[in-house]
Amino acid sequence: MLKINNLTAAVDAGQKTILEGLSLEIPAGEVHAVMGPNGAGKSTLSYVLTGREGYDVTGGKVELEGENLLDMDPEERAAKGVFLSFQYPLEIPGVPTMTFLRTALNAQRKARGEEEMSAPEFLKKSRALAKDLKIKPDMLKRPLNVGFSGGEKKRMEIFQMMMLEPRFIVMDETDSGLDVDALRIVADGVNRLRNPDRGMLIITHYQRLLDYIVPDKVHVLAGGKIAASGDADFAKKLEAEGYDAYAA
Amino acid sequence: MSLDSNQLPTRRDEAWKWTDVRGHADGQAGLSAAGRPKFTLPEGVTIAEVPRDDLDTDTPMAKLARSFGGKVWAIDVPAGLQPSGPLIIENLNRGHIRIRIDIGKGAKLSVIEHHAGDSGSFTNLDMTVTLKASAELDRTLIHHDPDDAMRVVTAHITAWNEAKIVQQALSFGGNLSRLETRLAGMGKHIEAVLNGAYLLDGKRHTDMTSYIDLTAPDCTIRQAVKGVVTDKSRGVFQGKFHVRRPAQQTDAEMRHDALMLSDAAEVRSKPELEIYADDVECAHGNTIGQLDESALFYMRQRGIPLGQARALLTEAFLTEVFDDMADEDLKISLLEKIQNWLAVT
C-alpha cells in the first residue's frame, strides 16, 4: 500500500539531512510501528509523508497505491486518504470544531469527485462517534483545540480520523499526554479502524501504546534509516534494551 | 463658488498624516457640490431640511460641509420613541452632506448607512448625533467604494447621562477613505461599543479614526477594530481616549489587530490614551501579524485547500468584532459580505 524507497530528506533549507535512505513497505491491512531515539527523524518522516513545507525531499520515492505522493500538495495527499495524527495538534482559533471538520470532509470528497455529506448525516455520525470517544457535545461547538487539554486534543485527533476514514494513517507520538484511561479510549478507536484496506504507521518513542494497538511489524529508525525490524515482541525487547545498539 | 484645495487637510496636519486628502482630491466629482442622500425613516421619526448653521463642529471637513453641503438634514427621534425598524441612509455617492440626528430622552434609533460612491467621486458626510439621557443609538456603516472614489465620513456624537451607543463599521475601502467617530461623553454612566473591520485589496485605503472625550464618571467604552490588508492596500487606525479629571471610574478598552496578507500592504496604527482622572481602568492593545503557517498546514493536512484554509482563518479573525450585534439579519449580511470578499481575494 505505502512504499517508501531510499528516501532522503533535509531541513533548514537543505542544510541538515535527517533521513538518509529510508526504505519501508506497509501492505494494506497491516499496522507497522516505527520506534527510535529522540532526534532519529521520526517526526520528520511524518511531515515528509504529509508534505509539510520546510521538509525537503532530496531523493527517493514515496508511493501510495502506486501514486507518487511527493508531487502532491498536503491537501491532495489528504484527499488521497493520508491522515496524520499530530504529536502537537494545532489550535484553530475562531473556527468551531464541527465547521472545521465538515469543511475538511467535504473538501476531501469534492477533490475525489464524491458527493458532499449532508448536514444531518454529518451531525448524526459525529454525535455517535463523540459519544464513543467520550467527547462532550459542547466541545464540538468550541473552536478546534482552543483551550483543550493535551489529552482532549489527542482524542480530538482520533475523532477527526474516525470521521474522515482515511486509507492510510500516520500517528505521531499519539500516546504522549494521555493517561491510561484516555489511552484505552484512543486505542479502541484506532483498533476499530483496522481493516484489510487500510494501512497504519505508528511512530512512537515508547512501547506502551503498542500494548493497546498491537502492530504487525516493528521497525527501529536510527541514523535516518530503518536499522532493524521485527514482530510485535521486538518492541518489548527495544523497550528493555534501549536503542544504543542501533546508534548510527 | 468652488472649493480651494488649500481648505483640504494634508499630511502636514497631524490627524491626517496617513490619509492625504489634498493629495488625492484633484478632479474628483462632487468636490464643490451638495450631495443628495436618500432616507428611509422608521415610523414616528421626522426629517426636515433646515438652514441651521449652528452645528458645533470645527474639523476641516466639517467646515467644508458647511460651505458646500447646503441645508442640514435634521432628523428627530421624539423622547421615548423606540421604532421597530432602522433609519436607512443611502445615495451617499458624492458631494458634501450634513445630517443632524437628535435622539430624545429614552428614545432609541438604529441607523444603517450605505456608503457607496460613484466612480471618481468625492463624498464628505458630516453627521452630528445627540443622545439625550438614556437614549440609545445602534449605528452600522457599510462602506464599499469604487477604487477611484474618495470619502470622508465624520460622526460627532454627543451623549448625555446613561446613553448607550453600539457602532459597527465594515469597510472595503476606496481610493482614499476615512471613517471618523468623535464621541463627546457629557453625561454619567455612558456605555459605548465602537467596533470596526476593514478588508482591503488592490491599492485601497481605509482610515478608521476615533476620538473619545469623556468628561463625566462611570463610563464604559469597548473598542475593537480588526483589519486585513493584502496587495498594496493600506489600513490606518488612530484611536484616542481622552479621560478628563471628573471622569472617574472610567472603564475603557481599545484594541486594534491587523493581518498582513502581503508584504507590500501597509498598516499604520496610533493608539493614544490621555488620562487626567486617577481612578480609571484604561487599556489599549495593538498587534500586526500574519496567518499562522502551522495552523495552515494542519488544515491542509485535513484536506482543506490552501485558499479555503486562509479564508477560514481570516474570517475567524475578523468576525468577532460583530459578535455583539443585536440585529441578527444585519449581522448575517455583514458576515456574507466578508465571506464574499474572502472568496474572491
Task: Transcribe chain A into DSSP letters.
Answer: -EEEEEEEEEETTTTEEEEEEEEEEE-TT-EEEEE--TTSSHHHHHHHHHT-TT-EEEEEEEEETTEEGGGS-HHHHHHTTEEEE-SSPPP-TTSBHHHHHHHHHHHHHHHTTPPPPPHHHHHHHHHHHHHHTT--GGGGTSBTTTT--HHHHHHHHHHHHHHH--SEEEEESTTTT--HHHHHHHHHHHHHH--TT-EEEEEESSSTHHHHS--SEEEEEETTEEEEEE-HHHHHHHHHH-SGGG--
Write out residues 219-248 of A within 8 Å (CB-CB) of B. none
> Is A79 close to B303, i.e. CB distance below 8 A?
yes
Dist CA A56 CA A62 (whole Å): 13
Measured in angstroms, the CA of B339 and the nearest CA of chain A are apart by 14
Measured in angstroms, the CA of A230 and the nearest CA of chain B are apart by 30
Dist CA B176 CA B145 (whole Å): 9
Q: What is the complex's ipTM, to 2 decimals?
A: 0.95
Nearest to A107 among B297, B304, B313 (CB): B304
Measured in angstroms, the CA of B332 and the nearest CA of chain A are apart by 16
Residues B262-285, mean pLDDT to the nearest whole number: 96
* Range with lowest mean pLDDT among A68-77, A191-200, B63-72, B271-280: B63-72
- Kindly report the average pLDDT of chain A as a whole number: 92
Dist CA B92 CA B310 (whole Å): 33
Confidence of residue A142 (pLDDT cuts 50, 70, 90): very high
Dist CA B278 CA B283 (whole Å): 14
Residues on chain B touching A79 (C-beta within 8 angstroms): 303
Dist CA B273 CA B282 (whole Å): 8
Per-residue pLDDT tens digits for B123-181: 999 999 999 999 999 999 999 999 999 999 999 999 999 999 999 999 999 999 999 99
Confidence of residue B102 (pLDDT cuts 50, 70, 90): very high
Instruction: Give which of B341, B343, B34, B344 is closest to B173, Cα–Cα.
Output: B341
Nearest to A75 among B305, B315, B319 (CB): B305
Write out residues 137-166 of A within 8 Å (CB-CB) of B. 143, 160, 164
Fold of A2-246: Rossmann fold (3.40.50)
Nearest to B295 among A74, A90, A107 (CB): A90
> Is A75 close to B303, i.e. CB distance below 8 A?
yes
Per-residue pLDDT tens digits for A184-211: 888 988 899 999 999 999 999 888 899 9
Confidence of residue A221 (pLDDT cuts 50, 70, 90): very high
Dist CA A87 CA B248 (whole Å): 50
Per-residue pLDDT tens digits for A30-66: 999 999 888 888 999 999 999 999 999 999 999 999 9
Residues A132-138, mean pLDDT to the nearest whole number: 88
Q: Quick one: CA dihedral B324, B330, B335, B341, positive or negative?
A: negative
A113 and B CB contact within 8 Å: no
The full DSSP string for B73-86 is EEEEE-TT---SSP
Confidence of residue B57 (pLDDT cuts 50, 70, 90): confident
- Kindly report the average pLDDT of chain B as a whole number: 95
pLDDT of residue B77: 98
Dist CA A74 CA A59 (whole Å): 19
Place of cell 511524518: A46
Structural domain spans, chain A? 2-246
Measured in angstroms, the CA of A98 and the nearest CA of chain B are apart by 13
Of chain B, the percentage scoring pLDDT greater than 90 comes to 90
Nearest to B303 among A90, A92, A107 (CB): A107
Instruction: Give which of B113, B131, B118 is closest to B38, Cα–Cα.
Output: B113
Per-residue pLDDT tens digits for B68-87: 988 999 999 999 999 999 99
pLDDT of residue B55: 63
> Is B312 close to A53, i.e. CB distance below 8 A?
no
Chain A and chain B share a number of CB contacts under 8 A equal to 74
Confidence of residue B52 (pLDDT cuts 50, 70, 90): confident
Q: Name the closest residue on chain A to residue B319, using Cα atoms.
A: A94
Dist CA A73 CA A32 (whole Å): 25
User: Does residue B258 surpass a pLDDT of 90?
Assistant: yes
Per-residue pLDDT tens digits for B217-255: 999 999 999 999 999 999 999 999 999 999 999 999 999
pLDDT of residue A132: 87
Q: Helix, strand, or coil here: A154? A: helix
Residues on chain A touching B294 (C-beta within 8 angstroms): 90
Cell representation of residue B283 = 487599556
Sheet with B176-185, side-by-side order of all strands:
B46-50, B72-77, B95-103, B122-131, B150-159, B176-185, B205-214, B234-243, B266-275
Per-residue pLDDT tens digits for B130-143: 999 999 999 999 99
pLDDT of residue B1: 67
Per-residue buried b or exposed e for B46-65, using 16+ beta carbons within 10 Å of the residue's own CB: eeeeeeeeebebebbbbebb
The residue with greater pLDDT, A144 or A13, is: A144
Residues on chain A touching B259 (C-beta within 8 angstroms): none
